[in-house]
A and B are shown apart, each in its own frame.
Chain A
Amino acid sequence: MASKSIKIRAKMKEDVVTVKALMTHAMETGNRKDSKGETIPAHFIQGVTCTSGSKEILTADWSGGISKNPYISFKYKGASAGDDLTLTWVDNKGNTESATVKVQ
């Protein structure tokens, strides 16, 4: 399912696929305070999983130390054009989003 909160691209050059993805997320560390001096509760993406078919390519564990609206890029081999690539994230409140793109 295409999702507006994740932008993802997978481009194949020779035999290496370069994936670039942007997610929309506040990525609050839980350390910041608002203008009233009250702590803004932590809200950040904890886990990112990238799969192609049933194959896991990359999993990531994140802290709130990743910038707001996270960007991630990685490369992998062993794909062919037209393969599906799915990126799923889950945050510390249990929200999850996922996006699928075809390798170009």
Chain B
Amino acid sequence: MKIDLNRRILLKGTFATSALGIAIGAGLLTPGQVLAAWPKEAFTAKDIPSALSAIMGADSAEESGDINIKAPDIAENGAVVPVTVSTSMAGVESIAIMAANNPVPLIANFNLKEGAEGFVSTRIKMGKSGDVVAVVKAGGKLYKAGKEVKVTIGGCGG
């Protein structure tokens, strides 16, 4: 995979291309609803507070020791950084994963429904070294934790 170093050039039009109309026309099953609800604002926000307020309704979160982030200290390849977020909190509603120094910090927001445990694991891209921040919404309140990950090769393209 070729990695271009001009990754800082963020194209503002990127997200405008999402083809909602086509999606609906294509006769989707259930995910039509998901797509319609895709929080574009949160996924175009350039910093964590604005992404947070767009997706969680509040721009700050309380530091919490009950959130455990498992991620490598040094990621050799920023294109694939395994991240696991787990929490023992009760009543977890959603878990958001962000990379503080990415062009668009918000990477994913997981809404945990009936029966789901406070645990998600995935692989993310990181443009450069920085904190991986997990924000957990539990009982209507926001809690966060961060972990620094050093990236040797950026993976956000550019």
Which residues of A does B touch, CB under 8 Å? 16, 28-35, 39-42, 46-49, 51, 55-68, 70-79, 88-90, 92-96, 98
Number of A-B contacts (CB under 8 A): 187
With A66-B122, A77-B117, A96-B31 already in contact, 19 other A-B pairs whose C-beta atoms are closer than 8 Å? A30-B15, A31-B9, A33-B4, A35-B2, A49-B31, A55-B113, A57-B113, A60-B108, A60-B109, A61-B38, A65-B104, A65-B156, A72-B121, A72-B122, A74-B112, A78-B115, A90-B35, A94-B24, A96-B29
* Chain B: number of interface residues, binned into ranges: 35 or more
B114: chain A residues at CB < 8 Å are 55-57, 76, 78
- The reply to whether the CB of B90 lies closer than 8 angstroms to some CB of chain A is no
A72 touches B120 (CB 8 A): yes
Q: Are the C-beta atoms of A70 and B122 separated by less than 8 Å?
A: yes
Assembly CA distance A16 to B86 (angstroms): 14
